[in-house]
Every structure is written in C-alpha cells, then in structure tokens.
Chain A
Amino acid sequence: MILIYLNSQSLFIDEFLTLSELLKNQGYISTHYAVALNQYFIKKTQYDKIILNHHDRVDIIRPMQGG
C-alpha cells in the first residue's frame, strides 16, 4: 500500500494503481471535473497512463462562480 492525498484527505491505495483506476474507485464517473496531480494539470487522455506514487497529491477541480 502507498499513501496519497485525494483532495487533501489521506488515502491508502494499492501500489501501481493508475490515476484512472483511482478516480473510478472513488466514484468520479462524471466528466465535469479536471484533475491536478501535485498541482499540475493532467489531461483526461493521460489518466490511464499515470501510475500513482507515494505522497502524490490528487486534486479534483470543479467549476465554480467567478468574477
């Protein structure tokens, strides 16, 4: 198991889990979000290719009101 942070919450996950698998396991099935990994934007097309590492920080980004 490795420790990652999903939306700042600590989470233990299996080793060699892809970003795509993490999102699916955590119920992120809609398309209305973007993802930042360690504060860098990750394109949707890359989710399958990224294997998560110890202490990675995954943030789900959603639309909000703005001026």
Chain B
Amino acid sequence: MSTSAPQITRKARIWNLIDTAGMLLVLAILLVICSVFVPNFFSVINFKSVALAVTTIGIISCTMLLCLASGDFDLSIGSVVAFAMVICPVVMAKTGSITAGIGAALFLGAIVGFVNGFVVAQLGINALITTLATMQIVRGLAYITTGGGTVGILKEDFYMLGTGAFFGIPIPVWIMILCFIIFGFLLGRTTFGRNTLAIGGNSEAARLAGIPVVRTKIIIFTLQGLISAFAGIILASRMASGQPSAGLGLELQVISACVLGGVSLTGGIGSIWFVIAGVLIMGVVQNAMSLLNLPAFYQYVVWGSILLAAVLLDRLKQKQLGRK
C-alpha cells in the first residue's frame, strides 16, 4: 500500500482480465465446444435463430444493466412487455394507425417505469416490493385490456418490424445491436452512466458529491419501462398477436443474463460487454440444449446451476475488490 514503486502482481493482472473480458472468453470457449460437439450448431441459419431467440431478453437487458448498476432492479418488465404487446394492437385496431398503436404502448410503458422510479427514488420504497406490486398491477391491466384472450393483428405493414430482414439479418436483431451500442455508450461514456455506477457504488457519497440521485434513478426506471414496452411491440409484431400472458418469468431471465455476464447485483459494477456476453451465453446454451434434445426438466437444472456459478464468481470478484 505504501510502497512508492508498486508492482502489479500476476494475480492482479489475471483478475483484471477476468473483470474486463472474463465472460466473453467463456462465450468464445462455449462457441467452440458447441461447434465441435453439438450437431447442426455451426451454421448460419442456426446462429440467426440463436440471435433472434435472445432479442427480447437482449433488448431489455440493456436497461436492466443501468438498473442493476445503480443498485436497484425491476421485476415489472415481463408485465410491461405483455401490456405493450396487447395495447399496441388494440389501439391500432381502434385508430387504424400503426404509429398511434406504437406510440400508445411506448407511452404507457414509460409511465409504468416513471411510477416505479418515483416510488423507489423519491419515496424511498424498496425496489423489490415496488416493482413486485407494479408487476402484478400491470399484468392485471394487460388481461383487463383483452378480457383475458389474445388479440390478433391485421395490419400487414406492422409485421415488418418483427419479421423483416436487412442484409439478411432479422430487424429485431438489428434493433438489439443498436440498443447494445446506445446503452453501452450511455453507461460507459457519459456522465449519466458514471453517475449511475457511482449511485450503485455508494448512494450517500453520490448524494454528497452533488450527483442528482433521485433524478438519475427516475430516468433509469423510465427508460426501463420504455424499452420493455418497445420489446413488447416487437414481440407482438413477431407473433402477429398480442398475448396478455406473454413474458411470464422474463424478469428473472433478464436479471440472470445480466448477472451471468458479470453485472453486480449489489450495484456499482456493470458494462455492456457483460450484458452481451451474458445474453449470448444464455442463447447458446438454450440452443445447444434444444439441439441435443435435452428434456425441459433438465434444462431448469442447467439454468439454475449456471446462474449459481455466475453469482459465485461475482462474490469472488467482490472479495478481490475489498467489498465483503
């Protein structure tokens, strides 16, 4: 500590590498193993289907990253996805306008997020309870909107969003990549992102350092609602319908993907690379298990084990950082 010319030990270097690229390395190794051992894995068509399968989780993970980095989390996203998925076709059917349908869904998603943020940040209520409550309220609203059933979508143009392709890559995948870029930039390269990490690292110190803690948190939750609604709209377009039961358990999958990639559940640690790695690892494992015809019951065990391994690694990293 007080040595004037300190050396960085090899162990510290290895930890730095694990911190920055650890899960990307795991992803690379996983890709190699699956290519060799899983039949039909290594093909352009399969890679496309992996990418398409993770779009919903991938898009929402971007804002969950901000949420986790600031030391909170949001359980209401699955419900917001379903709500947007049914609001969009209902409004479209009423007004005849695609723009109005999308606009209404995005607006309501942002409102849910804002309410979450306001209650958590301004009123100081625990995020677990707050978003658990809104999760149920919004799920209820989704069922009420359709009366419990599925709503069909008759606008052909709207299907483009979910099923179209650009340079041979599905549009939802492009949108996911765009989200990775935008939110990666937001977290890593802007004052907003640094403030987010600081709040997650020590919110009292952040407040006393003049960081607008409440405002930042409200913005994060609002973005979370907005992006979840957006993911719901894309899902509606892909499914050509709105299902009020969609996205059940999605919040846990999204949080798992983030944590798997190395985003800390206790806040302060996060990067878009972690999210990309976590999301793709989930997609690849899911895909490999399907290709290997592993029964669904076993898949639960695999998921749980992977998640446990990820949080154990997180714990080890925390220890290295001197935060016990």
Partners in one complex: no
A contacts, CB < 8 Å to B: none
